[in-house]
Amino acid sequence: MSDAHRTESQSANPFGWIDGSLVSLCLASVLVVFIGGLVQVSLGAFSMSLAEAWQAVFDPAVVSNPGVWMSLLLGGALPDLTKQTLVVWTIRVPRVFVAILVGANLAVSGAIFQAITRNELASPFILGVSSGAGLAILLTLVVFSGLSAFLPILAALGGATAFAIVYAIAWKNGTSPVRLVLAGVVVGTVFQSLQTGLFFFADDLGVVQSALAWTTGSLTGTDWEQVRTALPWSILAIFLALAGSRQLNVLLLGEQTARSLGMSIEKVRFALAGVAVLAAAASIAVAGIVGFVGLVVPHLVRNIVGSDYKRLILGCVFAGPALMVVADVGARLLLSPSQLPVGVVTGLVGGPYFLYLMRKQQQLGEV
């Protein structure tokens, strides 16, 4: 089919961009999340069998009760529930939901950064955005605890500041993939050192433990408050990412082609970077710094659905949660009964994958 016929077909059918590979990826990801979620809700100090966990998850007193959902999503008192249902729905299910939101946000953020830098090695973690957002959160926890209600906004400001510094360092009559990656590593290292230094200003042991959880990335102890914190920002970031998919596709064609099509390169690049920072910040605000999800997922999805960013973004929305839920299950089981931070598991997977991508690249660009 020619490009003209394909364009005409997609104009007639607004969902023409959805193909079999994308549907298969989304369905497989949903299945992985479902199975991983059921494993998650069966784990914990309160012992219950897998069958009891299933019954609690699908308890009609919760599933078919709008009032309970309103209480969970908006905050409020819950009606009388069985002990199993209460444990599952107030402690274990929100951990799965947070993993879903974190995975989707980081994957979408990484996909956007890879487009605006035209570099498949880019991600919030590699470009220093995660470290900048993490530093902002630690400052809030340790120094400005009264601003805790604004964690996502402060994390976004910290991430945006880090990315601006990276871009300024990498700029030399334009940027190159190597300079962006190197600048991200340098800025990330500096910000991580500042994070470590903040520990010396924390007198409360609980604050120190909380700060350590932020720097390693952890879903331990998450509840519906974290879901309520991340959900609106996640919806906004994913919507804006899908809305900007056409601009992302144009950026992939190169700056000269984009300018010939009338695009204001720098305005579009920084607007999309803002969306990527928002998505990463929504994740970091509830789970801390979880590395490499934004690097691995977009690359895997791209190999399955292709480079069209409308399909790629939607694929990341489904595949990112699958990776995070599986990683969190691994974090629970690897050293059971102890728990690893989920960021350790994603790092063990993502670090070698990053080296693989570096060796695969034929030409990263001139410094």
Predicted pLDDT of residue 112: 94
b/e burial code for range 314-332 (CB count within 10 A of at least 16 → b): bbbbbbbbbbbbbbbbbbb
What is the band of 34 on the pLDDT scale with cuts at 50, 70, 90? very high
**Dist CA 152 CA 146 (whole Å):** 14
Q: Is the pLDDT confidence value at 246 over 60? A: yes
DSSP conformation letters of 299-324: HHHHHHH-S-HHHHHHHHHHHHHHHH
Predicted pLDDT of residue 160: 85
Contacts of residue 287, Cβ cutoff 8 Å, sequence gap at least 6: 98, 99, 102, 217, 218, 219, 222, 226, 342
Reference 342, options 281, 292, 278; nearest CA is 292
| Token code pair at residue 349 | 């997977």
Specify burial of residue 194 (Cβ count, 10 A radius: 0-12, 13-18, 19+). Answer: middle
Predicted pLDDT of residue 144: 80
- Residue type for position 245: S
Q: Is the pLDDT confidence value at 356 over 60? A: yes
Q: What is the mean pLDDT of the chain?
A: 84
What does the pLDDT average to over 328-357?
A: 84
Reference 329, options 315, 349, 314, 299; nearest CA is 349
User: pTM value?
Assistant: 0.87
Residue identified by tokens 């219950």 is: 48
Q: Which residue has the higher pLDDT, 104 or 182?
A: 104
Query: Per-residue pLDDT tens for 291-324?
Result: 889 989 999 999 999 889 999 999 999 999 999 9
Predicted pLDDT of residue 174: 66
In order of their start, the domains of the chain are: 20-41+96-221+233-355 (1.10.3470.10)
Cβ-contact 106, 122 below 8 angstroms: no
What does the pLDDT average to over 315-340?
A: 90
What is the band of 238 on the pLDDT scale with cuts at 50, 70, 90? very high
What is the band of 4 on the pLDDT scale with cuts at 50, 70, 90? very low
Q: Which residue has the higher pLDDT, 343 or 335?
A: 343
What is the band of 99 on the pLDDT scale with cuts at 50, 70, 90? very high
Predicted pLDDT of residue 252: 84
Predicted pLDDT of residue 17: 74
Predicted pLDDT of residue 365: 44
Predicted pLDDT of residue 1: 45
Predicted pLDDT of residue 15: 64
Q: Which residue has the higher pLDDT, 19 or 10?
A: 19
Where is mean pLDDT largest: 68-82, 99-113, 353-367? 99-113
Reference 230, options 106, 142, 147, 111; nearest CA is 106
Q: Which residue has the higher pLDDT, 308 or 142?
A: 308
What does the pLDDT average to over 335-349?
A: 84
Query: Per-residue pLDDT tens for 260-294?
Result: 888 887 788 888 988 998 898 889 888 888 988 99
DSSP conformation letters of 258-285: HHHTT--HHHHHHHHHHHHHHHHHHHHH
Cβ-contact 40, 328 below 8 angstroms: yes
